[in-house]
Amino acid sequence: KLKTERKEIMAQVHLTLEDEILKDLMLGNRENGVAKLLEKVFDAVLRGQASEQLNAEPYERSDGRVSYRNGYRERTLTTRVGTLILHVPKFRDGNFSTDLFRSYQRSEKALLLSLMEMVVQGVSTRKVSEITETLCGTSFSKSTVSMLCQELDPVVDNFRNRPLSRHYPFMIVDAIYMKARDDGRVKSRGLLIATGVNDDGNREVLGFKIADGESEEAWSDFFCELKARGLSDVDLVVSDSHGGLKKAIQRQFHGAGWQRCQTHFSKNLLDKTPKKLQSEIKSSLTDLYNAPDLKQAKDRKQQMLDNFQDKAPKAMALLDDSFDEITAVFALPEAYRKRLRTSNSIERLNEELRRRERVIRIFPNDDSLIRLMGAVLMEHHEKWLTGKKYFIMDRYFDERETARKEALAERAAHLHVVT
């Protein structure tokens, strides 16, 4: 019995002793018998609903008939006793409607969302297939799971192309390399990533892009896309010293400071240092980084040059040449320096991406790489926006406004003297 808007549909099923369903039920194959019985019951319900909606039984001549039957289509329904194959009526004009599948559609949607979540969290498509077979009694192939995950595409596309309408004083950029197939060959693909701190003090994932490498052109194209979406007035960019990246930052962000990641620089410096001096130079370099202001940082640099110039000339030459790059952060108030003197924050994000990538190992194409990595980045973006603020920005903007007024006053005084 099934309630509809107008009346109750009574479904009757007749079985004889010769019926295979009854034999299964009586001879011990109860699961198969129950499944076949349910198919008959549900088909009878669907036929009853069709008669109610057409206002006529099969082959009945009726003045009240609103349309005619036009065969049926098969529809599967997964239940606890197995997968049922039902026969859904079709009409010549108009659509047959039933709420028989409504709860199934809700469950199906929940299952698909769970499948996509498992893949995003780093579960392999093969493992997802095994899990669904255990839980649901039905198996999803690797290709089916991959196809289902394509439902993430519009969500990820909206995220990576959203307008950047806020002011982002600080931006951190980096690249991570992964493997994807292209024309039957496995290629190394660079995932360029930009994160930022907005004027409210929260971190955001500003964007990401697939590229062949880290050439100046690749980074410039990426930065142009960010600017086209609204990125402007960046005050400080933090990154490693990759040649193409460094040139692209200088080209695309005029007037912005560039902070070379101190972690990467320390490694570069120690690579040029004799092994017996590495511990001592590392300690001195840490003291330089932790100087309270730029003047004392310069004094500590000079002390390092005096102490190690003869013993580690290559390392000291690198320090002298790169000093301004690794100390750009001293232009900021002290509370903002520690988190912006390295690209460690984006490195931790890369570790999360790498954890998912190890499961896949080789992506079937660029689209699948963007889909999965984009979903992970979007997840962290939302977590950052709803979590604790990365910075309290009031002091930064206050000091920047004070510096602006002092610069204007100094310029006015200079013009007065000249006049």
Are the beta carbons of 342 and 263 closer than 8 angstroms? yes
Assess contact for 315 and 281: CB atoms under 8 A.
yes
Percent over 90 (pLDDT), the chain: 47
pLDDT band at 3 (very low <50, low <70, confident <90, very high): very low
Please report, as a single letter, which amino acid is at residue 54: L
Distance (Å, rounded) from C-alpha 179 to C-alpha 167?
A: 34
Which has the higher per-residue pLDDT, 84 or 200?
200
**In 3-state terms, what secondary structure has residue 181?**
strand
Residue 48: partners with Cβ closer than 8 Å, 6 or more residues away: 2, 9, 10, 11
Residue 241, pLDDT above cutoff 80 = yes
**Residue written as tokens 């026969």?**
87
pLDDT mean over 112-141: 57
Strand 203-211 with 2-3, pairing: unpaired
Three-state DSSP state, 384: helix
Determine the pLDDT at residue 70: 84
* pLDDT on residue 127: 64
Lowest pLDDT segment from 142-146, 166-170, 372-376: 142-146
Tens digits of per-residue pLDDT, 28-86? Answer: 565 666 677 778 877 888 888 888 888 888 888 888 887 888 888 887 776 655 677 88
166: left (phi over 0), alpha (psi -120 to 50) or beta: beta
Q: What is the pLDDT of residues 327-365, one digit of tens each?
A: 999 999 999 999 999 999 999 999 989 987 887 788 888
Q: Which residue has the higher pLDDT, 295 or 255?
A: 295
| Burial of residue 219 (number of CB atoms within 10 Å: 0-12, 13-18, 19+) | buried
Q: Do 38 and 79 contact (CB within 8 A), yes or no? A: yes
Prediction pTM value: 0.68
CA distances from 417 to 409, 410, 411, 414 (A): 12, 11, 10, 5
CA torsion, ordered 323, 328, 331, 333, to nearest 10 deg: -110
Distance CA 197, CA 300 (A): 30
The mean of the pLDDT values for the chain is 82
Query: What is the tens place of the pLDDT at every residue in 286-306?
Result: 999 999 999 999 999 999 999
The CA-atom distances, in angstroms, between 390 and each of 33, 76, 411 are: 61, 50, 35
Instruction: Name the DSSP class of 214.
Output: -
